[in-house]
Amino acid sequence: MLEELCQNMVLTSLDHGKILRSMDARLGALSGEEDTQPDPDLIAALQEQIRQCETEVLKCASPRAVLRILPAEEIQPILSGHDICRLLSGCTEAVLMAVTLGSELEKRLMIEEVTNMSNAYVLDLCASQAVEQAADDLEQRLRVQILREEKYLTNRFSPGYGDYPIQMQGLLLDYLNAGRAIGLTLTPTNLMVPRKSITAVLGISPEPKPDLYGNCTHCPLQTKCAWRARGERCYQS
């Protein structure tokens, strides 16, 4: 089942709205306040730039994923801190997940950073959006699969969220054999290479669980988040 899900990783388009929103988090310009409205030509030019970068990202990205299910009695080693325990409490199994867009996209980003920083910036945002969508898509398909078995998937939780230490990254990748399976590795400082990658833990529960972490409490950026400052949330599109 898991292999099958991982073999069907495709990206066909990116959510331009989200890319535009993440442009620099200064969204006053888009929300039509005061006299800060940028002229429509400008937005059109930007959208064209996003379109071109999207094409480039879709061309260079090769989304790959690996999943592994751990029975409850084997999850002890991946637990650390309060939040992950809360996520997995009452769960019969945990799903480990890793998704990457591969090294060719990384190389493309490096070239663009030398030749055209403006495009590099937009390309980088598009790539981030792409890996987010790849992970969302995999999660969604997994959720459907689990539902068929009349079980429920919790939401996705990654090292670095809440009090789940980023140092767990190495263990998750080891468990997933991610280097061999999808070419995903870590630096000694626990950063993933290729950079456009996501790891996460999800629980499988016999009962539906409320979305514990679909808010800002887990986010390291909450104190300086421009969205929050405006009363918006990045996860509400």
- Among positions 120-179, residues that touch another protein (CB under 8 A) are 120-124, 160, 166-167, 171, 174-175, 179
> Pick from 141, 143, 195, 233: which binds another protein (CB under 8 A)?
195
Contact residues for 19 (Cβ-Cβ < 8 A; gap 6+)? 50, 54, 122, 125, 126, 129
C-beta separation of 197 from 135 below 8 A: no
Taking the complex as a whole, the smallest distance from the CB of residue 110 to another protein amounts, in Å, to: 6
> Mutual orientation of helices 103-115 and 40-60 as an angle, nearest 10°?
140
> Pick from 16, 79, 83, 119: which binds another protein (CB under 8 A)?
119
Q: Does 224 bind another protein (CB under 8 A)?
A: yes
Q: Does 110 bind another protein (CB under 8 A)?
A: yes
Q: How far apart are CA 65 and CA 185, in angstroms?
A: 13
C-alpha R_g of the chain: 19
Instruction: Report how many residues bind another protein under the rule CB under 8 A.
Output: 73
| Closer to another protein by Cβ: residue 7 or 237 | 7
Taking the complex as a whole, the smallest distance from the CB of residue 118 to another protein amounts, in Å, to: 4
C-beta separation of 14 from 130 below 8 A: yes
Taking the complex as a whole, the smallest distance from the CB of residue 208 to another protein amounts, in Å, to: 26
Positions in 10-69 near another protein (CB under 8 A) = 23-24, 26, 28-29, 36-39, 41-42, 44-46, 48-49, 52-53, 55-56, 62
Q: Does 217 bind another protein (CB under 8 A)?
A: no
Tokens, residue 87: 């996520």
Contact residues for 80 (Cβ-Cβ < 8 A; gap 6+)? 164, 165, 167, 168
Taking the complex as a whole, the smallest distance from the CB of residue 92 to another protein amounts, in Å, to: 18
Taking the complex as a whole, the smallest distance from the CB of residue 209 to another protein amounts, in Å, to: 25
Q: Does 73 bind another protein (CB under 8 A)?
A: no
Which strands sit side by side in the sheet containing 64-71, from one edge to the other?
64-71, 93-100, 197-205, 152-153
Instruction: Return the C-alpha torsion angle 84, 158, 145, 133, nearest 10.
Output: 160
Taking the complex as a whole, the smallest distance from the CB of residue 86 to another protein amounts, in Å, to: 21
> Pick from 81, 90, 107, 208: which binds another protein (CB under 8 A)?
107
Q: How far apart are CA 98 and CA 193, in angstroms?
A: 12
